[in-house]
Amino acid sequence: MIIESLKLNNFRNFKTLNIHFTKGINFLYGKNGSGKTNVVEAIYFFYLTKSFRTNNYLQLIKINNEFSVINGIFNEGMMKYKIDIQLSKDGKKVLVNNKNITKISELSNLLDIIYFIPKEVNLFKESPKVRRNFLNLSISKFDDNYLYNLQNYEKVLKERNDLLKEDNFDENLIKIYDEQIAKFSCYIYKIRKKYVLELNKYLSSIYTKISGNNEELKLHYVPYINENENYLKVFKEIYSSNLENDKKYKRTTEGIHLEDIYLTLNDKNLSFFGSQGENRTAILSLKLAPYFLINEENKKPIIILDDVLSELDSSRKTKFIEFLKKFNQVFITSTNKINDLNLTYYLVSDEGVSIK
Tens-digit pLDDT profile for residues 247-257: 999 999 999 99
The H-or-E segment that residue 199 falls in is: helix 171-199
Mean pLDDT of 330-350: 93
pLDDT value of position 199: 97
Q: Assess whether pLDDT exceeds 70 at residue 93.
A: yes
E strand or H helix at 352, and its extent?
strand 352-355
Euclidean distance between CA atoms 348 and 336, whole angstroms? 11
Across residues 129-158, what is the average pLDDT? 94
Question: What is the reported pLDDT for 224?
Answer: 84
Whether 347 has a pLDDT exceeding 80, the answer reads: yes
Residues 6 or more apart whose Cβ sits within 8 Å of residue 325: 24, 25, 342
Higher pLDDT: 126 or 312? It is 126
Q: Lowest mean pLDDT of 10-14, 78-82, 200-204, 238-242, name the range.
A: 238-242
Question: Which domains, ranges and CATH numbers included, belong to the chain?
Answer: 1-112+296-356 (3.40.50.300), 124-293 (1.20.1050.90)
pLDDT at position 229 over 70: no
For 61, which DSSP code? B
pLDDT, greater one: 107 or 282? 282
Whether 57 and 30 have beta carbons less than 8 Å apart is answered as no
DSSP string, 1-25: -EEEEEEEEEETTEEEEEEE--SEE
* Mean pLDDT (whole number) for 153-176: 94
Contact status, residue 353 vs residue 28, Cβ threshold 8 Å: yes
Indicate if the pLDDT at residue 14 is higher than 70: yes
Torsion-angle region of 255 (φ positive above 0: left; ψ -120 to 50: alpha; else: beta): left
Asked whether residue 342 carries a pLDDT value surpassing 70, the answer given is: yes
Buried/exposed 174-213: b ≥16 CB within 10 Å, e otherwise: beebbebbbbbbbbbbebbeebbeebbebbbebbbbbbee
**Mean pLDDT throughout 96-105?**
89
**Neighbour-count burial for 27-65, b at 16+ CB within 10 Å, e otherwise:** bbbbeeebbbbbbbbbbbbbbebebbbeeebeebbbeee
* pLDDT, average across residues 192-203: 97
Q: What is the mean pLDDT of residues 312-320?
A: 86
Question: What's the rounded Cα separation, in Å, for the pair 343 and 27?
Answer: 7
pLDDT tens sequence across 41-60 = 999 999 989 999 999 999 99
Average pLDDT over residues 196-215: 95
Q: Is the pLDDT of residue 167 over 80?
A: yes
pTM score of the predicted model: 0.93
Query: Taking 80 as the threshold, does the pLDDT of residue 74 lie above it?
Result: yes
Residue 112 has pLDDT above 80, yes or no: yes
CA–CA dist 217, 266 (Å, integer): 6
Q: Give the pLDDT score at 237.
A: 87
- Given a cut of 70, is residue 35 above it in pLDDT? yes
Angstrom distance (rounded) from CA 203 to CA 329 = 20
- The pLDDT of residue 228 is 63
User: Which pLDDT value is given to residue 226?
Assistant: 73
Q: Give pLDDT, residue 227.
A: 65
State the chain's mean pLDDT as an integer. Answer: 93
At 133 the pLDDT is 94
Q: What is the mean pLDDT of residues 217-234?
A: 84
